[in-house]
Structure 1
């Protein structure tokens, strides 16, 4: 048990017991980790949000380009894994449920042939099931692996407003100082 504690403290083992080996994709600077522990979609979303790496918060993976899809697919080893997308709120309206894109409609997709088809109330996006190759499918909530993406949080709109006010004050003060000099 002592060895497990050491591995956890060094970030070499995740709390779920999966070997933690996040890999960075240079395309966006984010880090990704495949977690083989099977969880329901909701539990995977919640668990991914508890992960951190190098001070970055984790979330269930959001894939926004073909290049990112190819990179993330390479981490799965062909295993089925949750993506952070769902149409559970409005059928046929696929949105990201986590990460910086949370609430946004998917602008990039890689659905398999005839998907998403909602056969049997399928509301959650998954990699590699049943086709493989990084193709996506909609499926019902059942325990499978998932991918954690680590990225910096997106500043809230209030942060931008405060930044603009601060810059305005600095600009005004600078003009007054130049005028008085």
Structure 2
């Protein structure tokens, strides 16, 4: 028979989570192991502690609680990259919102350059590098990569030239994440 965990950190974790995040917050969940690809999803319950003390939360698309140690809250949204594309598309589909590849011709080749979210005429388009945001009314909006750069400069009081140098270096190191040279 297992004994209840008396570690105050573990006991307080569910309360701290609930104070920090509302039900429905976007998360990256790793239900079995953090080595697996994340499940892009939303919480569907408040967190609580199991009988042995480990805190868990329910998420859309998975049956049973997921340990909070296997959850990364992403309240500001998900960055759309070639790697996160399928997971974000799946989360939006589970939310009963239409989503499909957004394609354009790049150097004569039809190429996926982002994700179209919602039905026309009220759809939004997220390009690779943009952040997909789920609003409280279960609609979606997009924060453009350029807007995120501007906010980072303002929020962190970084001079624009220094920030531009940082993002240029980042884009060069990760062209697949920044919408450059992305093939379907």
TM-score, structure 1 as length reference: 0.28
Select the structure with the greater relative contact order (CA < 8 A; seq sep ≥ 6). 1
Bigger Rg, which one: 1
| TM-score, normalisation: structure 2 | 0.28
